[in-house]
Structure 1
Amino acid sequence: MTTEAAGQAPLGRRERHKRAAKLRLYTSALELFTERGYENTTVEDITERADVGRGTFFNHFRRKEDLVSLWGEQRRDHLNEHLGRSRADAEPAGVVDELAYCMRALAAMNESEWARTRTMLLAWVKAGRPVLEEPHAADIFADIVAAGIARGEIAPDADARRIGNLLRDAYLGTLYRWAQFEEPPGPLADELVAILDIILHGILRPSAK
Structure 2
Amino acid sequence: RREERGELLQPVLFVLLVLCSVLLYLKVSLMDPGFVKADEEGQVNHFRKESAEAKNTSLLLATVWFLLQQPMRAKHCQLCQHCVRRYDHHCPWIENCVGEKNHPLFIVYLSVQLVVLLWAWYIAWSGLHFEQSWDWLQHNIFLIISFLLIVIFTIVDLLLLISHLYLVSCNTTTWEFMSHHRISYLKHSESENPFDQGVILNLWRFFCSCHLTTWEKIYFHRDSEPV
TM-score (norm 1): 0.31
Between structures 1 and 2, the one with greater strand share: 2
Larger Rg: 2
